[in-house]
Structure 1
Amino acid sequence: MKTDILAFGVHPDDVELGCSGTLIAAVAQGKKVAVVDLTRGELGTRGTAETRDIEAANAAKAMGIHARENLAMPDGFFQKDEANTRKVIAAIRKYKPEIVLCNAPEDRHPDHGRSSELVADAAFLSGLRKIKTEYEGKEQEHWRPSYVFHYIQDRYLKPDFLFDISDTYEQKIKAVLCYTTQFNTTDASEPATYISNPDFLDVIKARALMFGKRIGVKYAEGYLTTKMIGVKSFDAFIQQVT
């Protein structure tokens, strides 16, 4: 499938927390969107890899995306090595995105920063024709996305740009809440976590409100980029104001 946007998350629910409002908006705009999770989140305090699989599938439906898959790297212990880099390269070549979204370069969970570097490097290497990968027994064509953007998740990082999700914020929260073992739960059968407390939803909302205020809208998601973004016309800015 040729996609416009391919979003990577190291754990199932990272994409929902960090950039699902953007993905939902892109789908509404007619874009093709896919998600690739690097691990099954099997080290999470609550739930299991199997429950996370189900929750991720439900969240994919809530977001309306066109495809989702999991590379099954070991949660917490995956390395930025050749084998894993090739897995990400193969995923990029499979979906041929114009834009890749991935975790922030540094965050509360150490997996996030490690995966960020892995995906960004793979996005570059995917464009080298001498690196050979296969999908379903056939050699893949080389492909390099135009941009790699890093979504801001837990820690506050100053964004390079903000994406208006005012129209999709409620659907974003529905996608997040598909992870019934992880969020908004008072189930005492498993230990409470940083994200399981219902108050954590207020943190998500506060971040979206804060980013939204910076650009004069209700809700927004923040992104980092190492590649400078250029424009050919001021029309985009004028349309936003009007």
Structure 2
Amino acid sequence: MKMKVLAIGAHPDDIENFCAGTLILLADQGHEIYIAIATKGDIGHPTGTREKIALMRQEEAQASCDLIGAKLIWMGYDDEFLFSNRESRLSFIDAIREAQPDLMFILSEQDYHPDHRIAGTIARDARIPASVPLIKTAFPPAEIPTTFIMDTYQGQNFVPEGYVDVTSVIERRKEMLAQHVSQVAWMERIFETDMDDDSTRMAKQRGEEAGVPFAEGFQLLGDHPKVGGWELLPNVIGVN
């Protein structure tokens, strides 16, 4: 069965850090991939105006999507100021409806970054309303998708319930992340760290836990209603 797959991030490089390998594997299987980004990432660079940074980051996100034939959904909220309210919930509902996903990946509500936590909460809260016909948005209602929670930055406060072996696509995963050129300078300045090294190190750590060279960790959202499970993911190992 060919699926539609939606991954929702808060910032333009979130998906590449947390589930790009899994999306590559799914795209290689012929599934239709959508990547939705909640904020413009418009303060995530040492220099330039917010408008120029937002444009640059959207172009970088599109370049990453193009590598796997994914469709980009750009939601356009201000970086660092994502909140759960009526407007944002309707935007997330519409993103879900645009993608009509069978399978959805969302950020963890336990992450260090407030935008990550809020994006995870809104996506979780929008999962069922997206199926309700009386909630009117630009796109028609969607079926309730099977939803997985992505890892957190450096795995803080996150214990995977299962893993996807991404060893075979680790270089392509790096290539997707490398499209976010602006973030290399930003991460070095703000955290004194290399974004690619951090992301690959995390994949290696999860791989060691799963018994393979590189892996991505996930939790299956157990909220009612349960509509699918780990069988929807490729190269699954180590499910608790």
TM-score (norm: length of structure 1): 0.83
3-state SS, counterpart of residue 79 of structure 1: coil
C-alpha separation between the residues in 2 aligned to 1:105 and 1:124? 18
Counterpart in the other structure of 2:175: 174
Question: Do 1:46 and 1:182's aligned partners in 2 also have CA atoms closer than 8 Å?
Answer: no
C-alpha separation between the residues in 2 aligned to 1:153 and 1:207? 10
What amino acid sits opposite 2:202 in the alignment?
A: R
Cα distance, 1:231–1:119 mapped onto 2, change above 3 Å? closer
Question: Do 1:108 and 1:155's aligned partners in 2 also have CA atoms closer than 8 Å?
Answer: no
Cα displacement (A) at 1:178? 0.8
Counterpart in the other structure of 1:104: 108
Alignment of 1:199-238 (within 5 A): 200-227=195-222
3-state SS, counterpart of residue 168 of structure 1: helix
Of the structure 1 ranges 210-219 and 15-24, higher mean CA displacement relative to structure 2 is found in 210-219
What amino acid sits opposite 1:218 in the alignment?
A: P
C-alpha separation between the residues in 1 aligned to 2:154 and 2:207? 17
Counterpart in the other structure of 1:151: 150
3-state SS, counterpart of residue 222 of structure 1: strand
Counterpart in the other structure of 2:125: 121
Question: Do 1:3 and 1:97's aligned partners in 2 also have CA atoms closer than 8 Å?
Answer: yes
What amino acid sits opposite 1:114 in the alignment?
A: I
**Percentage of identical aligned residues:** 25
C-alpha separation between the residues in 2 aligned to 1:231 and 1:117? 21
3-state SS, counterpart of residue 143 of structure 1: coil
Question: Do 1:151 and 1:224's aligned partners in 2 also have CA atoms closer than 8 Å?
Answer: yes
Cα displacement (A) at 1:20? 0.5
Cα displacement (A) at 1:226? 2.9
Counterpart in the other structure of 2:190: 193
3-state SS, counterpart of residue 192 of structure 1: helix
C-alpha separation between the residues in 2 aligned to 1:68 and 1:121? 21
Gaps of 5+ in 1: none
Question: Do 2:102 and 2:143's aligned partners in 1 also have CA atoms closer than 8 Å?
Answer: no
Counterpart in the other structure of 2:91: 87
The count of residues paired between Structure 1 and Structure 2 equals: 223
What amino acid sits opposite 1:167 in the alignment?
A: S
Cα displacement (A) at 1:180? 1.0
Counterpart in the other structure of 1:39: 39
Cα distance, 1:177–1:142 mapped onto 2, change above 3 Å? closer
C-alpha separation between the residues in 2 aligned to 1:92 and 1:191? 34
Cα displacement (A) at 1:15? 0.5
Cα displacement (A) at 1:231? 7.7
C-alpha separation between the residues in 2 aligned to 1:89 and 1:161? 27
Cα displacement (A) at 1:30? 1.2
Gaps of 5+ in 2: 48-52
3-state SS, counterpart of residue 60 of structure 1: helix
Cα displacement (A) at 1:191? 7.7
Cα displacement (A) at 1:179? 1.1
Q: CA RMSD in A?
A: 2.6
Cα distance, 1:181–1:213 mapped onto 2, change above 3 Å? same
What amino acid sits opposite 1:31 in the alignment?
A: H
